[in-house]
Amino acid sequence: MLRASIKEVWSESDAYPIYEGRVGASPREMRGVLLDAAQSTAFKCLNPLAVVEEIYALCQRKNEFDWLQQDIVTGGYHDVTSFRDTLDERLLGASEYELYVASGVVDEEKYAELLERYVQHVSAWVKKERLYNRATQKSEEPSEDLMGEVERLLDVQGEPLEWRRQLISGVAAWAIDHPGQKVGPAAVFPQHLKRMRESIFVERRQAVATLARDIVLFVREDGSGLDAQRRREAEGTLERLVSRFGYCRECAVDAASMLLRKRFDDLTF
Ligand SMILES: [Zn+2]
């Protein structure tokens, strides 16, 4: 099969010589980027922020590289600026997520659990059944408060009847497609979990941003202006960034400082 396709691959770029993938930064140039990033005086470690900075610097050297001189083609081809910005966005997104989790103001497991309870309540509600509450050892009506809270986080509009029915048929359809697998909301509704996370992130944004600023003050400015409580919280978050996500302290502060500049720059403290 491979042999039969050689001709096709060989000639696929005939009509368009700068076919995507034919031109671009060479391994040697990327190695240069990594070496320069490792030697950057702005960062203590070879951290991803340093690599992104060097990629930005490389992209400035238009006269030296053919691949920086190509016209952008519809669909994002040869769009070096957009690749670079996408990379930067992904990096920011990953750091932001890690900071939220490490901050302790959002508990990933708690809202997975909340979604699971929500599905149980909705299931009983749709079937007009009662739920057995293990804590009180009584059967109870499904909780409108709990369902309403999750629907608010999921931004469900209007009457929830149709939404709830569809949710339960979604569970049933998933179970048919995945025989023998345990039905867990995280597996069945990853998009809802993501949505809940985003809503919770929006609500906690100011608190997390303040923590990012405290981390920078705590390490870089000797904690000036921070009371004992805020020092403890900054220290706790730093420790979790190190133990859970593999940052060193310096790189954790670099990430916090970058988020303050690029993601939390609209907030005031
Ligand atoms: Zn580091």
* Range 123-128, long-range pairs (CB < 8 A, 24+ positions): 123/168, 123/171, 125/164, 126/164, 126/165, 126/168
User: Which is more confident, 19 or 257?
Assistant: 257
How far is residue 122's CA from residue 170's CA, in Å, rounded to a whole number?
12
The pLDDT > 70 percentage for the chain reads 100
pLDDT score recorded for residue 22 = 77
CA 27 / ligand 1 centre spacing (Å): 24
**Domain map of the chain by residue range?**
2-78, 108-191
Ligand 1 centre to CA of 253 (Å) is 9
Cα separation of the two ends of the chain: 62
Separation of alpha carbons 105 and 257, rounded Å: 19
Q: Confidence band (pLDDT; 50, 70, 90) for 73?
A: confident
Between the CA of 40 and the centroid of ligand 1 the distance, in Å, is: 13
Average pLDDT over the chain reads 91
Give the pLDDT confidence score for residue 38 in this predicted structure: 95
For the segment 97-120, the average pLDDT, to the nearest whole number, is 88
Q: Tokens representing 234?
A: 């900054």
Give the distance (Å) from ligand 1 centre to CA of residue 88: 18
Residue range 29-59, pLDDT digits in tens: 999 999 999 999 999 999 999 999 999 999 9
- Report how far ligand 1's centroid is from the alpha carbon of 236 (Å): 18
Residues with Cβ–ion distance below 5 A, ligand 1: 45, 248, 250-251
CA 34 – ligand 1 centroid, Å: 15
Taking alpha carbons only, the member of 12, 97, 100, 25 closest to residue 59 is 25
- pLDDT for position 35: 96
Predicted local confidence at residue 239, as pLDDT: 96
Give me 230's structure tokens. 């805020």
DSSP string, the chain: -HHHHHHHHHHTTTT-TT-BTTBS--HHHHHHHHHHHHH-TT-SS--HHHHHHHHHHHHH-TTT-GGGSPPPBTTTBT-HHHHHHHHHHHHHHHHHHHHHHHHTSS-HHHHHHHHHHHHHHHHHHHTT--EEETTTTEEEPPPHHHHHHHHHHTT--S-SHHHHHHHHHHHHHHHHHSTTS---HHHH-HHHHHHHHHHHHHHHHHHHHHHHHHHHHHHHSTTTT--HHHHHHHHHHHHHHHHHH---HHHHHHHHHHHHHHTSTT---
- For the question of whether the overall pTM of this predicted structure is more than 0.85, the answer is no
Q: Are 35 and 46 in contact (CB under 8 A)?
A: no
pLDDT tens string 195-230 = 988 888 898 999 999 999 999 999 999 888 899 999
Nearest to 105 by CA among 187, 190, 188, 214: 214
CA of 213 to the centre of ligand 1 (A): 18
Ligand 1 midpoint to CA 269 (Å): 27
Ligand 1 midpoint to CA 31 (Å):
20
Name the one residue in this structure whose structure tokens are 């770029």.
Answer: 13
Q: Is the pLDDT of residue 107 over 80?
A: no
pLDDT (0 to 100) of residue 5: 94
Mean pLDDT of 74-82: 87
pLDDT-derived band at 24 (thresholds 50, 70, 90) equals confident
Residue 84 has pLDDT above 80, yes or no: yes
Distance 205 CA to ligand 1 centre (A): 25
